[in-house]
Amino acid sequence: MKTMTACFYLITDDGVQYLPFADRFLLGGAQEGGLAAGRAWLEKPCIDVLRTGYGYGISRLPGQQNLLFNGTQLPEGGPYRLTHGDVLFAGSPDMQDYFLLLFAENGAQGQAGWMHLSYRELETSSAFPFRLRDGSWMVDPSLSGAPVKVYGSPLTAETPVYAGSVFRCGKRLFAAVRDGLFYTDLFPEDPAEDGILHIDIENRSIRKFFFRKKKLIENIHLDVKKGQMVLILGQAGAGKTTFMHAVNGYEKAEGTITYNGKTLEEIRKEGGGIGFVPQGDLLRPGVSVYNTLRNAARLKLAGTENDDPEIIRQKIAATLSLMGLTGKEKDLVSKLSGGEKKRLAVAAEYIGDPKLFFLDEPDSGLDGPSAERLMALLRHIADEGRIVMLISHSPDRAGSMFDRVIVLGKDPRTQCGGLAFYGSYPKTLEFFGVSKLEAVVDAIGNGKENRAAEFIGRYAAMQAERGGVE
């Protein structure tokens, strides 16, 4: 696991303050940084940020009301996964006092690199995408040569600027305060096509009676970034496995799916691009752990620069260590525990060095500790810069590890699966009005209580208003 030096950038009307921390940061009370000084509404701790085995997690403690995480009310509990560039807004009950906390996984640059621009200075500058209209400041995407985004969603129309607003314009990030803007280039996004999985599925259909087509899923459009771990949720029959098979190329769908601008076919030809662990156990029980990995490596690395006996031996040793299987090399697969078999199945795909990793219910049949260990392993694999996408029926055992959640619903009118939501863990809970991921499926309902069409419509309208996928 890589060593991290994390920090928050505290942004108030008075300036930008650098708040480094190693393992824990407590917001409120007598925490380091003195944020509670002169702020009666912060006398009790309200936020706990803790380093975990998969990065940093943020938990909301009871009490404080005005806490927004990337523009969304932060639910009590957690931890929710923190990633570079996340924004926490905290405000007093009367909203007369506030501050922003910008999270950085590597804060080695300190507070250098932040600049201030007053609204008076902004009036005479044409270098920024802001304009004064009817006495109010607006951010105007038409004035920018790069996309303007709010928490990852592109803006297509003028939007008011309020104290506490955060905007991204290309590589530059703006944080609004009462008298102007602070801005920095410390939080650049990846280039548009660097590590992005573009999913544009029009439909996936099968032929039924008299060659008539039946749609299984339709109109699913979203982007996934490298390094993200993504959960697929949905009702029974909503098309979770169909969607996964369409994305990894196992089943053909109408539409386009690319990674870094390349099709799945092109990625496969390059070798080692896609890993898939199905729900069923495909391991051969009479083969040893070592030979299982050696056979997988020979198959997946054939014709690549790593197709060398010594390199394969080293990769097997490293993979065994990562998966917690060192010392099991001579054991037959049939002698492994359920958790060990799952980790070996993951190892057999991981050894091919996939950029895209798909798993269908990898935690099925595992007890709580074994499932949590497996999910932490998948989180580590994502943190290596891979995309990990999985289906799980018990996601709350690892909810905070997921960067994004895809929710599919089966429209009772068309009997076809559609995209009911795509967003972060906290935003998913907020959208469906629940406190746990496993309650999302209950919120959608089944039978006469099926609200899938309602959620699919609401999400489509929300995306149309925002002007694109998250």
Q: Which residue has the higher pLDDT, 30 or 464?
A: 464
pLDDT in tens, 238-263: 999 999 999 998 888 899 999 988 88
pLDDT in tens, 422-444: 999 989 999 999 999 999 999 99
Q: What is the pTM of this model?
A: 0.78
Q: Which residue has the higher pLDDT, 282 or 4?
A: 282
Cβ atoms < 10 Å from Cβ of 8:
24
**Does the pLDDT of residue 305 top 80, yes or no?**
no
Instruction: Tell me the H-state helices in 118-226.
Output: 119-123
pLDDT of residue 55: 75
Instruction: Give how far Cα 285 sits from Cα of 26, 74, 254, 344, 365, Å.
Output: 49, 46, 38, 12, 18
pLDDT of residue 36: 64
pLDDT of residue 327: 95
93-101: average pLDDT: 85
pLDDT of residue 304: 78
pLDDT in tens, 135-149: 899 999 888 878 888
71-96: average pLDDT: 84
Q: Provide the token pair at 369.
A: 């500790």
The β-bridge partners of 52 are 55
Proportion of the chain above pLDDT 70, given as a percent: 90
pLDDT of residue 189: 58
pLDDT of residue 422: 96
DSSP state of 288: B
Q: Which residue has the higher pLDDT, 288 or 24?
A: 288
Q: What is the mean pLDDT of the chain?
A: 86
pLDDT in tens, 388-397: 999 999 999 8
**In which band, very low, low, confident or very high, does the pLDDT at 278 lie, cut at 50, 70 and 90?**
very high
pLDDT in tens, 333-366: 999 999 999 999 999 999 999 999 999 999 998 8
Whole-angstrom distance, CA of residue 247 vs CA of residue 232: 12
**Does the pLDDT of residue 294 top 90, yes or no?**
yes
pLDDT of residue 31: 56
pLDDT of residue 392: 94
**In which band, very low, low, confident or very high, does the pLDDT at 194 lie, cut at 50, 70 and 90?**
low
Whole-angstrom distance, CA of residue 392 vs CA of residue 380: 18
Q: Provide the token pair at 446.
A: 């089944």
**Does the pLDDT of residue 192 top 50, yes or no?**
no
pLDDT of residue 2: 44
Q: Provide the token pair at 329.
A: 């090399």
Distance, CA of 324 to chain centre: 25
Closest CA to 243 of 19, 103, 235: 235
Contact 81, 54 (CB under 8 A): yes
**Does the pLDDT of residue 3 top 60, yes or no?**
no
**Does the pLDDT of residue 191 top 50, yes or no?**
no
pLDDT in tens, 307-333: 888 999 999 999 999 999 999 999 999
**In which band, very low, low, confident or very high, does the pLDDT at 207 lie, cut at 50, 70 and 90?**
low
93-110: average pLDDT: 77
Compute the chain's Rg from CA coordinates.
24
Instruction: Give how far Cα 145 sits from Cα of 307, 368, 465, Å.
Output: 45, 50, 21
Phi, psi angle pair for 267, to nearest 5°: -65, -40
pLDDT of residue 193: 46
